[in-house]
Amino acid sequence: MPNFNDILVLLPEFYLVAAACVLLLADAFMTPEQRPQLHWISIVVLLVAIYLVIAGQPAQTVTAFGGMFVRDGVGEILKIFALGTTAMVLVYARPYLVDRKLPIGEFYTLMIFAVIGIMLLVSAGNLVTVYLGLELLSLSSYALVALNRDARLPSEAAIKYFVLGALASGMLLYGMSMVYGASGMGGTPGLGLAQLHQVMAYTTAPKLLLFGLIFMIVGIGFKLGAAPFHMWIPDVYQGAPTPVTAFIAAGSKLAAFGMAYRLLDAGMGDLAHQWQLMLAVLAVASLAIGNLVAIVQTNLKRMLAYSTISHMGYLLLGLSAAGPEGYAAAMFYAICYALMGVAAFGVMLALTRAGFECEEIADLKGLNQKSPWMAFLMLLAMFSLAGVPPLFGFWAKVLVLEAAIHAGMLWLAIVGIVFAIIGLYYYLHVIKVMYFDQPAEGSVLEAKPDVSLRVVLSLNALSLLALGLYWGPLLGWCRHAFGL
Amino acid sequence: MFNHLLSLLIWLPVIGAVPVLLAGSNRPDTARWLALLVAVATFVASLFLLVQYHPDVGGMQLTESHLWIAAWGVHYSLAVDGISVALILMSTFVGILVIVGAWEVIQDKPHQYMAAMLMLEGLLIGVFCATDALLFYALFEAILIPMFILIGVWGGPRRVYATLKFFIYTFFGSVFMLIALLYLYQQAGTFDMATLAALPLSMKAQTWVFFAFLIAFAIKVPMVPVHTWLPDAHVEAPTGGSVVLAAVMLKVGTYGMLRFILPIVPDAGGHFAWLIIVLSLVAIVYIGYVALVQEDMKKLVAYSSVAHMGFVTLGIFIAFLLVREQGNVEMARLGMQGAMVQMISHGFVSGAMFTCIGVMYDRLHSRQIKDYGGVINVMPWFGFFYVLFAMANAGLPGTSGFVGEFMVILASFTANPWIALFAAFTLVIGAAYTLWMVKRVMWGDITNPHVAEMKEINGRETFVMIAFAAAVLAIGIWPQPLVHLMDTSVSQLVQQLAIHKI
């Protein structure tokens, strides 16, 4: 039964809920002049949350509320990076919001609620908690996408996101209900992932269980944005305000990995031989569709959307290895992707101004002449996304490929590497536009004078290089979380 | 400090590129002088290798090793043998010359150009001394980044096509090597190249690994039929880019063969040696003919590079044939030695040829042979150097080009006179395409009025020419120091060829 200890275990989450409510109230009572201060307050709120997560790190896995919530190493790492990348997004977002006069208060509050959703999701110990966290994240994201509600494209994106997201949630819920039925247990404990694992061996309805599993994988595939459940990704990425896109690219991918890990390993680990191949198929489809369709994109956000799909393919490569090694590699990949994605969108945000979205690839023409530092940061992000050593993205790819080979799926690794070559082209194309082309007539392309944005963005992009040169500790940390 | 000489050699140019970059486009001269300072410092540091490395002992020396990635047991480990020392010295030497060569030529963002060159140099040195396969791979791939930028920003009209082709082509090859390395890692539990060399592998596994390595290195060398990126990249690259590409970067391919194919998959290497030998002969004969009909000077030299690199691969794999089928270690050593000398020699000769073409291009903005003619009348000093390098390219005795080719032909004669016959064809074809080019460019009357306006080379260009000429003649007339430097290492490599690992 809930007691004080349970609350302590959930302290970072409770703290964030309280902080979000305070922010909401503050927003209501602040004058328009005071409102920009919410920016710094929310960043501090997130930093304090990171501190609480780190400071309260339990020595071993702790559960709360009867196993509904699990606090372990995996959750901690995902939370730290989700909070960290979200804080970065907030830093990058400020000039964008101010220039476009978007509702500031709502943005920060919704962002924090979305992060709470992520934190619940990655710590879920129970099917209900999974659903709860997922919906909190999704609903906040739908609203965030529609933040600029008067424009056509964002509204369209939000509706698409909502309709498809609701469908996916329904699938997930349907799958969960089947699994619950197949487990043959009554009452809420039956929804616990750990218990599910135990009863799996004795189920009298293996077919029902398998059906449930398939529906759950559809839900996971949707959240990850893996093909063939990727339809929403390009429209949402393109239509959403760029800071929101950055958040969806970073935070929600970490969440999706956490959710996949909780459901598949903690809950359905015994069916690994079943879902391994399903994930492999999703991985191949994502790699193919993501990389091939990205080649023809002219809109940078849309290209990055397809690139996300392909990156989720690589992440699935690690997941489908279905072992601690593979999970560690996939988590490493998710963290890596979050940092790369935020950096790439960060450069776009640094270059935008009112009336200039900087979202076409052609908009970056001659960036190296106009603003060499921004071009260099984007170069780092692009080479990292492409997986060229010595940048971070390369090592993440190596890890998932190794995991796939280790699991005896050499063919999958070869498919992965072949699509890495194809994917190289569109990243190189961006670099080509920035470095080899002359700037268009009258193009301004100046980075925002905002110091915090410049500093954080530089650190963000340089971290891709630094982590590429020395990624041992992070890998060790990820492996430690999975007991290696 | 000298325990970290190799690290110093890698990181000095890479870190040194940062202040060069920071000098910015407003202070081009600061950037140039800084870059020269770094390049000279690196060269001086590399001379210490000659002091520290003991050629008679052989084996890997100056070892440095630090745990890099604990979870995988990957080490940041460096070491050199005689072959690496020779290649590193060549890289640092050429490193200075490309900086000097680009001095006034590169007016657009010189700081970025110089910084990219320095980074490229540092990474190339890293490739030549890495003894951990994963570290090697990372450096091997990382060299693509500065080269991509160099060709793309400062290249010719079709630079975008050329640089994308170059990057994707070479990347395509090396990813298969990555898969092979990951496979070997699963077998051996380490990326340490010495341990991988001792790892027993079945013939089937060796065959797969062999082809994965082969595709990576064959593209880099480049061997026929995967050489098609090279003419494009060379033609479009700026002069300095071409020089580094031909002089140093192609050697990465053959060096990789020595470090990976020879020790790790010797049985498959021996089994498929005929394939490489045939491809090398095709490169020597057929590509020689292709070079003959080129109308663009850079393309001509690029194709002649492919033909000359054919000698390097021929020398390496003829050694397999000699050791494994005839047990003739002495001749195998000669062939291998010849391949190594050819590697170094080709570095200087092709570098010099591309510099010469760059000098002419700066004046006339054309690389077409037909636009020239009678250049010697207006540029006698330049003509002297040009003809000297052309002779070296044709393999004239007394120049460096002769030594390596002669040793390889001699070794292949012992293996099979037919191979030697085809290899010796190069003496005819090489002379034909080079001398014909000299005839059309240098001799004769001035037909193009613009040629009459060409100015004689200035002091800076003369310095570069003299430096190249000194290296070409030194190796040609007195190759003994170079041979001695690599001799023990070559013997050790040849001994490894005989080991059966199945």
Q: What is the pLDDT of residues B51-73, one digit of tens each?
A: 888 888 888 888 888 888 888 88
Closest approach of B266 to chain A, Cα-based (Å): 24
CB contact under 8 A, B141 and A389: yes
For A64, A90, B67, B473, the CA distances from A12, given in Å and listed in that order, are 13, 19, 36, 73
Closest approach of B173 to chain A, Cα-based (Å): 10
Residue A417 has its nearest CB partner, among B160, B168, B178, at B178
| C-beta of residue A346 within 8 angstroms of C-beta of residue A88 | yes
Q: Where are the alpha helices (DSSP H) in B130-249?
A: 133-142, 144-154, 159-188, 193-197, 203-220, 229-236, 239-244
Residue (of B300, B290, B286, B283) closest to B439 by Cα position: B300
pLDDT in tens, B394-414: 888 888 888 889 999 999 999
| Contacting residues of B for A390, CB less than 8 Å apart | 138-139, 142
Chain A touched by B378 (CB under 8 Å)? no
Q: Which of A376, A388, A422, A434 to mutate to test the interface with B (most CBs of B within 10 A)?
A: A388
pLDDT in tens, A264-273: 888 787 788 8
pLDDT in tens, A122-170: 998 888 889 999 999 999 999 999 988 888 888 999 999 999 999 999 9
| C-beta of residue B273 within 8 angstroms of C-beta of residue B299 | no
Per cent of chain A over pLDDT 70 is: 97
| C-beta of residue A427 within 8 angstroms of C-beta of residue A382 | yes
CB contact under 8 A, A420 and B175: yes
Helix, strand or coil, per DSSP, at residue B70: helix
Chain A touched by B170 (CB under 8 Å)? no
| Residue A470: Cβ within 10 Å count | 13
At A269 the pLDDT is 78
Q: Which secondary-structure segment (H or E) carries B69?
A: strand B61-69
At A65 the pLDDT is 82
Question: CA gyration radius for chain A?
Answer: 21
Residue B153 has its nearest CB partner, among A383, A436, A471, at A436
| Residue A167: Cβ within 10 Å count | 15
Q: Which tokens in the block code for residue A271?
A: 């069916």
| C-beta of residue A302 within 8 angstroms of C-beta of residue A230 | no
- Kindly tell me the sign of the dihedral angle through the C-alpha atoms of A158, A160, A162, A168: negative
Nearest chain A residue to B169 by CA: give it. A421
At B19 the pLDDT is 92
Residue B145 has its nearest CB partner, among A368, A383, A436, at A383
Give me the long-range contacts of A61-66 (CB less than 8 A, separation at least 24): A62/A9, A63/A9, A63/A125, A64/A5, A64/A6, A64/A7, A64/A9, A64/A10, A65/A2, A65/A6, A65/A10, A66/A1, A66/A188, A66/A189, A66/A192
Q: Which tokens in the block code for residue A421?
A: 């070559």
pLDDT in tens, B272-294: 999 999 999 999 999 999 999 99
Q: Which of A287, A384, A421 to mutate to test the interface with B (most CBs of B within 10 A)?
A: A421
Average pLDDT of the segment spanning A385-395: 92
CB contact under 8 A, A436 and B137: no
At A2 the pLDDT is 59
Domains in chain A, number: 1
At A187 the pLDDT is 52
Q: How confident is the model at residue B23 (pLDDT cuts 50, 70, 90)?
A: confident
At B124 the pLDDT is 95
pLDDT in tens, A275-323: 898 999 999 999 999 999 999 999 999 999 999 999 999 999 999 988 8
Helix, strand or coil, per DSSP, at residue B61: strand
Q: Which of B25, B69, B120, B150 to mutate to test the interface with A (most CBs of A within 10 A)?
A: B69
Q: Which of B148, B166, B236 to mutate to test the interface with A (most CBs of A within 10 A)?
A: B148
Which residues are CB-contacts of A342 (< 8 A; sequence separation ≥ 6)?
A85, A88, A89, A92, A246, A249, A250, A460
Closest approach of A240 to chain B, Cα-based (Å): 32
Average pLDDT of the segment spanning A39-53: 93
Residue B171 has its nearest CB partner, among A401, A424, A431, at A424
The ipTM value here is: 0.92
Average pLDDT of the segment spanning A352-363: 85
Q: How confident is the model at residue B1 (pLDDT cuts 50, 70, 90)?
A: very low
Chain B touched by A237 (CB under 8 Å)? no
Residue B164 has its nearest CB partner, among A401, A428, A471, at A428
Cα separation, A48 vs A70, in Å, equals 21
B237 alpha-carbon distance from chain centroid: 16
Chain A touched by B182 (CB under 8 Å)? yes
CB contact under 8 A, B68 and A406: no
Chain B touched by A476 (CB under 8 Å)? yes
Average pLDDT of the segment spanning A360-374: 89
CB contact under 8 A, B168 and A425: yes
Cα separation, B468 vs A82, in Å, equals 56
Which domain range does residue A252 map to?
Answer: 4-481
Closest approach of A78 to chain B, Cα-based (Å): 20
| Contacting residues of B for A475, CB less than 8 Å apart | 69, 71-72
Q: Which of B14, B72, B112, B185 to mutate to test the interface with A (most CBs of A within 10 A)?
A: B72
Q: Residue A116 is which amino acid?
A: I
What is the interface size between A and B, counted as CB pairs within 8 Å?
87
CB contact under 8 A, A405 and B182: yes
Average pLDDT in chain A: 89
CB contact under 8 A, A475 and B176: no
pLDDT at A185 over 80: no
Q: How confident is the model at residue A201 (pLDDT cuts 50, 70, 90)?
A: low
CB contact under 8 A, B71 and A372: no
Chain B touched by A462 (CB under 8 Å)? no
| Contacting residues of A for B135, CB less than 8 Å apart | none
CB contact under 8 A, B179 and A401: yes
pLDDT at A396 over 60: yes
The per-type count for chain B, helices as H runs and strands as E runs, is 24, 2
At A184 the pLDDT is 66
CB contact under 8 A, B152 and A436: yes
Q: Residue A427 is which amino acid?
A: Y
Cα separation, A295 vs A229, in Å, equals 20
CB contact under 8 A, B138 and A470: no
| C-beta of residue B381 within 8 angstroms of C-beta of residue B462 | yes
Q: What is the 3-state secondary structure (H, E, C) of chain A?
A: CCCHHHHHHCHHHHHHHHHHHHHHHHHHHCCCCCCCHHHHHHHHHHHHHHHHHHHCCCCCCEEECCCCEEECHHHHHHHHHHHHHHHHHHHHHHHHHHHHCCCHHHHHHHHHHHHHHHHHHHCECEHHHHHHHHHHHHHHHHHHHCCCCCCHHHHHHHHHHHHHHHHHHHHHHHHHHHHHHHHCCCCHHHHEHHHHHHHHCCCCCHHHHHHHHHHHHHHHHHHHCCCCCCCHHHHHHHHCCHHHHHHHHHHHHHHHHHHHHHHHHHHCHHHHHHHHHHHHHHHHHHHHHHHHHHHCCCEHHHHHHHHHHHHHHHHHHHHCCCCHHHHHHHHHHHHHHHHHHHHHHHHHHHHCECCECCCEHHHHCCHHHHCHHHHHHHHHHHHHHHCCCCCHHHHHHHHHHHHHHHCCCHHHHHHHHHHHHHHHHHHHHHHHHHHCCCCCCCCCCCCCCCHHHHHHHHHHHHHHHHHHHCCHHHHHHHHHHCCC
| Contacting residues of B for A424, CB less than 8 Å apart | 167-168, 171
Task: Please give the backbone phi and psi of residue A297, each rounded to the nearest 5 degrees, phi first.
Answer: -75, 145
CB contact under 8 A, B68 and A398: no
At A7 the pLDDT is 84
